[in-house]
Amino acid sequence: MAIGAVVSHRNFGSFLGSGKVYQEPLFPGYRRYSYRNFVGSSNSETLRTRVTCHPNVLHQQFSNFNTVKHSQRTRAICECFLSSRKLGKLGIVDSQFQQSKHATVIRTRADYKSEDYDITGEGVDSLISSEGAGEAILVEAGQQTKPWWELPKRWVIVLLCFTAFLLCNMDRVNMSIAILPMSKEFNWNSATVGLIQSSFFWGYLLTQIAGGIWADKVGGKLVLGFGVVWWSIATIMTPIAAKIGLPFLLVMRAFMGIGEGVAMPAMNNMLSKWIPVSERSRSLALVYSGMYLGSVTGLALSPALIHKFGWPSVFYSFGSLGSIWFALWLSKAHSSPKEDPKLSVEEKKVILAGSVSKEPVSVIPWKLILSKAPVWALIISHFCHNWGTFILLTWMPTYYNQVLKFNLTESGLLCVLPWLTMAIFANIGGWIADTLVSRGLSITAVRKIMQSIGFLGPAFFLTQLSRVRTPALAVLCMSCSQGLDAFSQSGLYSNHQDIGPRYSGVLLGLSNTAGVLAGVFGTAATGYILQKGSWDDVFKVSVILYIIGTLVWNLFSTGEKILD
């Protein structure tokens, strides 16, 4: 059986006799070097990854390697496999082990206690004696080349969260299209429509903080899985409830909100454990772009389904997709890297490098959390942001139909453009934010810049809606407004993990509770405003709140950790 060892300034003979196996030290900043025993010679004077050379010049190659200038003490990662002849002297040779001369060795490690050793370049010759030089082979410790198509596990988690959010908004926006034929069938006026649209937020409001606490205590996998199954069932039951009566429909929409309410806190908890700071903005932007693409998909497919199969079809078809996602989630996801037995050591180092304690939270320090000004900046800014966002989410098809005079199919297709713009701009904003952080700009400055764009951009284009005279310009203004709104994903939506990574689920639950209240009041208020006034009045309220949010955010927010 092959015994793993490393070159060290310690006595190498005593090391071999101990039967210890080398394990890779936690130094991800250095390249790994691998040697294999083939006939031939090196074509390079410096040590390169997976270089082949004759064993007789192996010590010279290591001498060259140790002259390379690194910022700190040179370290290398290697294992030494000796022939059965040398191992026989140690008395622990596996009779089944055979080593072919001039061929790559199949490595088998002895079952002994592991210990880390350093290579300083001294004593290398003691490894390669003249007797055993022909059989000494250095190979990379525990490394296997992954297929190019295999994603890092943390990005598998991100993509699963992305898909969950895509389904989340598909199931949410289908009502904004289906409400038009439903209103005609059941004779609902604008106030009733506003009540139905806002009933979703009754349940959504209830589970924001509760979902955050639950996720921080038991992990995001269970909570997000529960949410998707719950809202998928409620979506499928919506047509049945509507035909029974309005009160049943209101209850079913509230039930759907209960399921979707835990999604954001659970996702935030998951990513706070899986994603390093250097990838935070990009990962969150990608996940939230799933919401926007969900709106795109739902708004694009709903008119065609309604036209061909009737309005109940959108609820049955969209709701059934949750079962497919849930099966993948159970098989692929874990609440944290520590719970994933298949996670590679290398990726675990990347994830955990520079991380804070992410153990489950037993007690929530509510007094401490609510005493921090940046927490209140998050709460107020989230309210201001969501007022405008949820109004556009729920009322945009009606605006296109009543004001711009588009039919049902045209309204659904044109509603796609703002959400598609958001999906694109969210990822652009995430890339910009991570680039600025990597180039030395403080996280606080980056969050303030991105969120200011996310507030002032939509405010500007909403003010232009009352001045445009053509439907094309109105759609353009709406698209630009929503596109710039997506920069918020690298602003306030990333800030929960900045200021309190251990309590990221609770923090998002708190701020999103305020955001849901904005959705409840804003969606219902829009119905009453339209009965008394006009769409210009609706947009003016949103603009005022965007400006208030900008001021509060820039005065009180921070990107520094304030909660341990």
pLDDT by residue (tens digit) across 521-530? 887 788 888 8
Considering the domain boundaries, does residue 511 fall inside one? yes
**pLDDT for res 522:** 86
**pLDDT for res 358:** 54
Say if CB 315 and CB 174 are below 8 A apart: yes
Residue type, 440: G
Rounded to an integer, what distance in angstroms lies between the CA atom of residue 59 and that of residue 42? Answer: 12
Say if CB 454 and CB 488 are below 8 A apart: yes
Domain endpoint, select from 108, 139, 170: 139
Instruction: Compute the mean pLDDT over every residue in the chain, rounded to the nearest whole number.
Output: 76
Residue 186 sits in the same domain as residue 275: yes
Considering the domain boundaries, does residue 381 fall inside one? yes
Helix, strand, coil shares of the chain as percentages rounded to 5?
70, 5, 30
Considering the domain boundaries, does residue 7 fall inside one? no
Considering the domain boundaries, does residue 148 fall inside one? no
Which CATH number belongs to the domain containing residue 479 in this structure?
1.20.1250.20
Say if CB 284 and CB 430 are below 8 A apart: yes
Domain endpoint, select from 139, 168, 199: 139
Buried b / exposed e over 432-460, threshold 16 CB at 10 Å, is: bbbebbeeeeebbebbbbbbbbbbbbbbe
Residue 456 sits in the same domain as residue 370: yes
**pLDDT for res 528:** 83
The ranges of the chain with pLDDT < 70 are 1-149, 354-361, 393, 408, 412
HSE of 484, CA atoms in CB hemisphere, 13 A: 19
> How does strand 137-139 pair with strand 79-81?
antiparallel
Residue 373 sits in the same domain as residue 254: yes
Considering the domain boundaries, does residue 518 fall inside one? yes
Residue 369 sits in the same domain as residue 264: yes
Domain endpoint, select from 117, 139, 161: 139
Residue 176 sits in the same domain as residue 317: yes
Say if CB 127 and CB 63 are below 8 A apart: no
Rounded to an integer, what distance in angstroms lies between the CA atom of residue 7 and that of residue 3? Answer: 13
**pLDDT for res 348:** 84
Residue 290 sits in the same domain as residue 166: yes
Residue 58 sits in the same domain as residue 160: no
pTM of the model as a whole: 0.63
**pLDDT for res 530:** 85
**Residue-range definition of the domain harbouring residue 24:** 12-139
Rounded to an integer, what distance in angstroms lies between the CA atom of residue 96 and that of residue 99? Answer: 10
Considering the domain boundaries, does residue 346 fall inside one? no
Say if CB 292 and CB 170 are below 8 A apart: no
Longest dimension (CA), the chain: 97
Buried b / exposed e over 214-226, threshold 16 CB at 10 Å, is: bbbbebbbebbbb
Residue 190 sits in the same domain as residue 308: yes
Considering the domain boundaries, does residue 6 fall inside one? no
Residue 105 sits in the same domain as residue 205: no
Report CA Rg, the chain: 30
Per DSSP, the three-state class of 135 is helix
Q: C-alpha angle with apex 539: 536 to 543, nearest 5 degrees?
A: 135
Token pair 């040179």 is found at 74
Say if CB 474 and CB 404 are below 8 A apart: yes
Residue 120 sits in the same domain as residue 175: no
Say if CB 196 and CB 214 are below 8 A apart: no
Token pair 């991100």 is found at 158
Domains in the chain: how many in total? 2
Residue 65 sits in the same domain as residue 204: no
**pLDDT for res 73:** 38
Say if CB 110 and CB 23 are below 8 A apart: no
Buried b / exposed e over 369-394, threshold 16 CB at 10 Å, is: beebebbbbbbbbbbbbbbbbbbbbb
Residue 217 sits in the same domain as residue 329: yes
Considering the domain boundaries, does residue 387 fall inside one? yes
Residue 115 belongs to what H/E stretch?
strand 114-115
